[in-house]
Amino acid sequence: MFKSTPITSMTNAFDVSGKNVVITGGNRGIGKGITLAFAQSGANVAILCRNVESGKKTVAEIQQYGGRYTCIQCDISDYESVKAAAKEVFAFFDHVDVLINNAGVATTVPFLDKDGLKEWHRVINTDLHGVAYVIYEIAPSMRDKGLGGCIINISSVGGQRVSGSKDHHNAPYNVAKAGVDIFTRYLAIVLGDYGIRVNSIAPGPVHSDLDKDLPPSFIEKIEKDLPTHRFGEPIEVGAFCVYLASPAASQVTGCNYAFDGGLLCIT
């Protein structure tokens, strides 16, 4: 049974330097913010993404930080693609310390429309099944290496609220993210004996590639009513991930953290 070591001082409490980190969708949006945060903090990073050219540009951008970085083509909604990507991950890293499941998609199609079921499968296959596929292929090695580690699932406040659904239809996204939150708690239990902590972060309004899908009325409401009166930034989610992967969070597992500027307080 793996027992975590508590910190005894603030010296290196937030240190993640040298850790091997895998980030799905780490080439853009929130995922890129997470990639930048770990690279700037001295970690090694493997980005898994569909758009390899975009991923290579991100890798080139972080080379200045002096770690080991790579981009691996992967469509997380396709299990065979995930299996192939995992083999490449373990060819690049001898072990994985941190796995961050960030890649995801959304929809604006009402569920009962003619394309509603098609969109349901597309989103669920990525946002829920994709998370399961990646964990299924990466977590066993983390477990068997006996080095402990950390899994962070990027969920959403959309897994906890569906207000605004008449204007912003996203049913499969809401369902998938709610599933990720429960899956996170399950994994925290079954992987705890191996020193692997599992948490999820539930972003609210954060600037990303999904901004274009938000109705103007929602953006105006956020800026007016949100306690922080602004959207979050991807690097801020990255900073939260660095904390959860650091020694300072060694007693933190099975939690779902809202990162929403107070959105859940007002809806």
114 against 170, higher pLDDT: 114
Give Cα 174 distance to the centre of its chain. Answer: 15
CA distance 48 to 36: 14
Topology of domain 20-266, per CATH?
Rossmann fold (3.40.50)
CA distance 99 to 103: 12
**Contact, 22 vs 241, CB < 8 A?**
no
pLDDT at 169 over 70: no
pLDDT at 38 over 60: yes
Instruction: State which amino acid sits at residue 231.
Output: F
Average pLDDT, stretch 224-247? 95
Structure confidence at residue 3 as a pLDDT band (50, 70, 90): confident
Average predicted confidence (pLDDT) for the chain: 93
pLDDT digit string, tens, across residues 64-107 = 999 999 999 999 999 999 999 999 999 999 999 999 999 999 88
CA distance 63 to 178: 36
| pLDDT computed for residue 163 by the predictor | 63
Going by C-alpha positions, the residue among 129, 102, 97, 114 that lies closest to residue 259 is: 102
pTM for this entry = 0.94
| pLDDT computed for residue 31 by the predictor | 97
| pLDDT computed for residue 67 by the predictor | 98
Q: Give me the catalytic one of 65, 69, 173, 194.
A: 173
| pLDDT computed for residue 165 by the predictor | 52
Is 173 among the residues known to form the active site? yes
Structure confidence at residue 34 as a pLDDT band (50, 70, 90): very high
**Contact, 168 vs 216, CB < 8 A?**
no
CA distance 82 to 79: 5
Return the sign of the alpha-carbon dihedral for residues 153, 156, 160, 166: negative
pLDDT at 230 over 60: yes
pLDDT at 166 over 60: no
Structure confidence at residue 154 as a pLDDT band (50, 70, 90): very high
Half-sphere exposure of 58 (CA within 13 A, CB side): 32
Average pLDDT, stretch 171-191? 96
Per-residue three-class SS string for 168-222 = CCCHHHHHHHHHHHHHHHHHHHHHHHHCEEEEEEEECCECCHHHHHCCHHHHHHH
pLDDT at 30 over 70: yes
Q: In the chain, at which residue ranges do the beta strands (DSSP E only) sit? A: 20-24, 44-49, 69-73, 98-101, 149-154, 196-203, 256-259
Average pLDDT, stretch 158-183? 80
CA distance 263 to 124: 24
- Pair of tokens at residue 190: 């079954």
CA distance 59 to 240: 21
Report the percent of the chain where pLDDT is more than 90. Answer: 78
pLDDT at 52 over 70: yes
| Residue 181 vs residues 8, 176, 242: alpha-carbon distances, Å | 31, 9, 19
Sort 186 into a burial class: Cβ within 10 Å, 0-12 / 13-18 / 19+. Answer: exposed
Average pLDDT, stretch 227-236? 94
